[in-house]
Structures are given as C-alpha cells and as structure tokens.
Structure 1
Amino acid sequence: MRKLILSAVIILGGLSVQASIPAGTTVNSVIIQDEYTEVTADAIPAAVKSTVEKSFPNTKLEKAYKNAKNEYKLEISSGDKKYTVFTDASGNIIKK
C-alpha cells in the first residue's frame, strides 16, 4: 500500500512540475560577440607588436583582427602550434 501511495505522489508531483511550464513558450537568447575585421600587420600599433614580441618570443604573426573598441585579436604561430592573443591598443593582454 505504501508503494502505491508513494508512486501516486511521485507521478502527480511530476505532472504538476510539467504543467507549470506554458506550452508554446519560446526562449530567445542573444549572443553578443565583438565583430573583428582583418587588418594588415602595418595597421597594428607598435605597442601591440612590442608586447607580442616580448611576451611570445620566436613566434610569427599569422593574422590580425581589430574590433570597434580598438582591441586586437592576433593569431600567432610557433612551429606547428597556433595561438590566439587578445590585446588592447596600448598592448595590454586581455583575457577572453
């Protein structure tokens, strides 16, 4: 008898939780991404180049990108390994 009552409570509890979510409800989520546009190596400020050379010796700059906030996304490589580094216009490394 206990098992029957316990089963009924569990089933009714599960139905009440399921019924509390309105049908047809949609959830919209917005992902905000900083849009980076590719720039040439000449367009990178000297402070950014200096930071990369000091912080990551023996690496080669593959591609550089810039966003509206004057932040730079730099793709660098060392041998067969590739890294992505984010900096501001002053050359400070940004953690993303």
Structure 2
Amino acid sequence: MRVTPKAPWHMNLDFPTSLELSPPADVTVPKTKLKKADAKQLDENAAAFDVEITPTAPGSKSFSGTFKFAVCQEEACSPVTETITFSVDVAPSS
C-alpha cells in the first residue's frame, strides 16, 4: 500500500502514519496494524507498507482497512484518514 503526494504537498514525517487491515477469514496476515516503524518507505516523497498474506485457498480475496497519514505544504498540513478496499487474486498452487 502506497501514498505519494503531488507537489507542492509532501508527507508529514512527524504524524503517526499507520495502516490497519481487515483481511478476509481465509487469509492470514501476520500483522494487521502497521505503524511508522513497519513502513518499507517513509520519507517526504511517499509512505509505503508491504503486507505479507497467506491465503488458505485460491480465489479473489477482498481486504478493507484504514490508512492514516498527513501531508503538508508550506502553509499548512492536512491529516488524512482513508478507508481503503482492494482485492487480490490468488492462483491455485501448481
């Protein structure tokens, strides 16, 4: 999951950036609440989290969650809480 602000905005590194996921019942996610320290990238250009999943069966897997971050420009900062949804297609193992 990645957020990349458009100029003149940049990520606010002081904000408690986080990603919280709700996986489907047939998917194991080792950590559903990710904090700043878990970010793959967290700098003024972007915030990115890698999420490891282990499905128990093939098929489309739907996730939901909340991504919290803040972006700033010279005059002001804006905290953001985004509700996210996405799907991952899992192929049968060969």
Normalised by the length of structure 2, the TM-score is 0.32
Query: More strand per residue: 1 or 2?
Result: 2
Bigger relative contact order, structure 1 or 2 (CA pairs below 8 A, ≥6 apart): 2
Q: Is the helix fraction higher in 1 or 2?
A: 1
TM-score (norm 1): 0.31
